[in-house]
Amino acid sequence: MGSPDLSIFNRFSKDQLTYHFHSMEGKKDLIIEEELMKPLDQISGGVSYLRQQGVEKIFKLHDHWENGGESQKMIILRPYPESVKLVVNGVKNDKMKNISHKYYLVFTPKKLNVCDKILEEEGVFGDVIINEYPLDFITLDVDVISLELPVFYTHLFLNKDTTWLYIMARALQIIEGFLGKIPKGVCIGRRSKLLYDLLQTLSLNEPSHNHPTEIGSFIIVDRDIDYVSMMCSQLTYEGLVAETFGIKTGIVEFGKEVTGSDKKLSVLLKSSDQVFDEIRGMHITNVFTLLSQRAKHLQSGFEKRNQLDTVKEFRQFVSEDLGMLKQQQKSLAMHIGACERIMQAKQENYFEDCLHVEQCVLDDLESKECINFIENCINKQSEQHHCLRLLCLLSLCKGGIDTILYKSLKRQYLQSFGYKHIVTMKNLEVLGLYTQNTDKRNIFPKLKRKFNLIPKDPGAVKSSAKDLSYVFGGAYTPFIPKLVELIIQNGFSQQLEESLRAFQINTFEHKQDNAVKDVSGVNKASLQVLKTVLVVFMGDCTHTEVNALRFIGKQLGYKLIILTGSIVTSKDFLNKLIVP
């Protein structure tokens, strides 16, 4: 038995999507909520599939619908009140113009009661046919599954709304349905335990599965046990691609500065791209060296044709090698262009100065210099999320900021960006991201010492992939991947449980004795199962954390599968908390 094949989930979701299209026979127009465009593109495979399903035109869901088109409209949307109101407006406008359409509403991943209520109150409930498309998650790569649900974190942690917890539980239920019951695991954090309890409740109503177990254990971790990793600058290649260009549902759009042409290039970043797979988790300072080596190797591959003598050898070279070499050449040129743009952006945005301040904040050094830098950023009205990120990092590492300084920084921020951001600051305070230190206690120094989160010699680590902290240039070891590493190496020991409890982090361990025995043999297949771990982020995670988990898996010989609400940058994360 090899590693679990996660592509099965996308195929399953595509089959369900096909069912909905077949339920609406004939030609149709498709209206899609913008947030769902890239996930559906990943699932369906693109426009050619939609054409096969009778789709004539594709539109984004917005205020004004296009007039005319097909008489049948399939609308795929999230169950957000604002999205339903857009549908209501579109239906009402059509009725005012005496345009008759058949509206087929497909809510994904589920329909909420508030959707029916809005449709009824606005008087259009009888004009639409309602259905659900349970697109609970999509497979982004061979080891990454994402709900692609941006609201998951804010609803659960900020609003204390457990509505979307059901989707994560159902995602785990589907995974166990295809890959077998996971026999043991650890929950770290209060919401992780809520998820586990809900999963157990759902399992009571489900028939037992006889699938052989393909995943040996799970580790479910609350996002709020480590916000520091979210606020540190990403330094791996994949992380910086996300910071510089933006990665949505595994897709990045490169512009003229990378491609050299006016046409944008959309690229699906996956491990099937050999060049990207090799450099994605590397520290950015090492990427150019490796790309240079690959360019030389590629050149020698092309020069091989000069040594061919027979027609048979030429035919073999053209059919087997040439296509692969051209594909690698294209990929190599693209990633070199991306690297050049990343390095240019770093120089433009005082990146090195910012890294120095971050390291000083993490080490609790040069506090006055750090505060001056942050104040300058605020007063010069640098990018809003950048200022907030530094404020949050300062607060997190100090266990809250002294009252006088807290009020001063908050006042300067509001004066620079507007007093409407009193709500933004309140959101940060509720989440514990920017707070006052009223009792003069700070647990972060103890936490980083206890778990060795700051290397003794950061300079020795820097960009060398010998220690987990390399992902942050030796400045900091991401805490959640560190916990995963400790659990894999030593199991969930009593010592680890007590250490976490000392920092007020709740834990729970789950074991099913019978199931453990099924995978505890000495044969190769059983060992592969034992060394396959599902890591679940209750909330968002960053590309750097994914890179760190891959590093752990490679170092320890484990296959780590990641399930997350979405993969974000600090900008994406903070934009959810900033009032528009």
- Reported as a single tens digit per residue, the pLDDT across 447-494 is 999 999 998 776 666 656 778 999 999 999 999 999 999 999 999 999
**CATH superfamily for domain 352-441:** Sec1/Munc18 (SM) protein, domain 3b (1.25.40.850)
- Say which CATH topology domain 6-134 has: Rossmann fold (3.40.50)
Least confident span in 298-307, 329-338, 497-506: 298-307
Least confident span in 102-111, 128-137, 252-261: 252-261
- Write out the residue limits of the CATH 1.25.40.850 domain(s) in the chain: 352-441
Task: Report the C-alpha gap between 154 and 80 in whole angstroms.
Answer: 14
- Write out the residue limits of the CATH 3.40.50.1910 domain(s) in the chain: 139-226+478-576
- Write out the residue limits of the CATH 3.40.50.2060 domain(s) in the chain: 6-134
Through-space distance between the first and last CA atoms of the chain, rounded to whole angstroms: 50
CATH architecture entry for 237-349:
Alpha-Beta Complex (3.90)
DSSP 137-149: -EEEETTEEE---
CATH architecture entry for 139-226+478-576:
3-Layer(aba) Sandwich (3.40)
- Reported as a single tens digit per residue, the pLDDT across 213-264 is 899 999 999 999 999 999 999 999 999 999 999 999 999 999 988 888 888 8
Closest CA to 572 of 318, 231, 305: 231
Measured CA to CA in angstroms, residue 542 lies from 24, 54, 471 at distances of 39, 38, 11
pTM: 0.92
- Write out the residue limits of the CATH 3.90.830.10 domain(s) in the chain: 237-349
Task: Report the C-alpha gap between 295 and 325 in whole angstroms.
Answer: 11
8 A C-beta contact, residue 254 and residue 245: yes
Residue 316 pLDDT class (50, 70, 90 cuts): low
